[in-house]
Amino acid sequence: MLGIAPSRRGFIKTALLSMTLLAGTGVPALADAGFQRWIANFEKTATSNGISRQTYRAVFAGVTEPDHDVIRSARFQPEFRDNAWDYMDNRVNEETVADGRRLAQQHKRLLDVIEQRFGVSRYIVLAIWSMESSYGKALEKPGSLKHVPQALATLAYLDERRAGFARQQLIGALKIVQAGHVSPKGLTGSWAGAMGHTQFIPTSYLAYAVDMDGDGHPNIWTSVPDALGTAANLLSKNGWRTGRTWGYEVAAPRGTNLAGLDRANKTLAQWQQLGFRRVNGQPFAAPSDNANLLMPGGPNGPIFLMTRNFFVIKRYNNADRYALAVGHLADRIAGGGEFAQSWPRGYTPLSVAERYELQQRLSQHGFYDGVIDGKIGSGSRGAISAYQRQRGVAEDGNASRALLDLLRRH
């Protein structure tokens, strides 16, 4: 590099190296140097929010560049969007129900205490544990956990849409460390900062975390009692009604204009006057309670009247499907059955064991390179579509019995 000063040459050499390392990631060149400046500059914001310099520097010790996996996760757009039944199949099935029943027995004493203290059904708490971390199994997967401060700093630095959220959560994460509840290296979670068995973001942790095991620290990362108690506390503080259900599957009177009633709110007594009945023939437990009509699979699928507790569950995750899955899984763990009305799939679905087999066979044929977990997501559906194209059959991306039979013959 003739004519360039030695110090300048070193800078350019570093810049070229950075550009090489970051090529193809969608992350701006020189992001490492800029990221280090961002961390240095954010220290002033942290200290103005009560974080000591000692805590701040301990948390970011050794953090020199963004976590590019975080940005890839943030930018990921699945090729396929799950139908309501796909979402439910992946989360409420014979495997999650059996695990929930086993854990209900294993943690009976703890769940007794949680119900007495917070008034929240043990089965709802177990269902949330399943939904959030597969009863903790997701935390054991190699590479699944991120260093939360680095992940949040990455989002604040590189993701303009999430920057405000990330900065707020980063301050919360620093407060957790400063309080001594977790070590800097132990502050792990998802790419978006959700932490522990029950996946709390830092500000929610600060608002709801409880110490159930009595060690002086609410530890949702490794203490099942603390994690489940924290989940129950969130529901309790947001208005959970003890002894009440989350909702009812119902049958509508023939000829009803359901489209005109979608999400309508009436008392259960008023719904009954309109001809709506519980599918099991039992009366509504509290006729004066209000309920909203919900049809997640359209008018030809299961129909529900959702009561207050359904909307309390949505304070955990604001998606209707999430709250429905939590409620239904809780009922199944407690001994209840499947929905009376089938989903309008148009095909015969697979069991969990068959979905494992489907993924294995697609992998053997070179169409699927994801995790063999029995969950049919965007990657599995893309593999199914590719296989269907190659075989010259209708391309619908569905994990059906007909597709598995075709793979078995191939």
Asked whether 296 and 258 are in contact (CB, 8 A), the reply is no
CA-angle at 208, arms to 205 and 210, nearest 5°: 95
Residue 32: per-residue pLDDT = 82
pLDDT tens figures, 34-61: 999 999 999 999 999 999 999 999 999 9
DSSP character for 298?
-
Q: Summarize pLDDT for 176-221 with one digit per residue, the tens.
A: 999 999 999 999 999 999 999 999 999 999 999 999 999 999 999 9
- C-alpha pair distances (Å), 255 with each of 130, 251, 275, 302, 306: 38, 12, 11, 16, 22
Q: Residue 276's pLDDT is what?
A: 98
pLDDT at 385: 96
User: What is the average pLDDT value for the chain, to the nearest integer?
Assistant: 92
Q: What is the pLDDT of residues 147-174, one digit of tens each?
A: 999 999 999 999 999 999 999 999 999 9
pLDDT of amino acid 143: 85
304-350: per-residue pLDDT in tens?
999 999 999 999 999 999 999 999 999 999 999 999 999 999 999 99
With bands split at pLDDT 50, 70 and 90, how would you rate the model's confidence at 410?
confident
Mean pLDDT of 279-296: 97
Q: What is the pLDDT of residue 10?
A: 39
Q: Does the reported pTM lie above 0.85?
A: yes
117 within 8 A of 124, measured Cβ to Cβ: no
Q: Answer yes or no: are the C-beta atoms of 329 and 382 closer than 8 Å.
A: no
| Domains of the chain, first to last | 352-409 (1.10.101.10)
Residue 99: φ, ψ to 5°: -60, -40
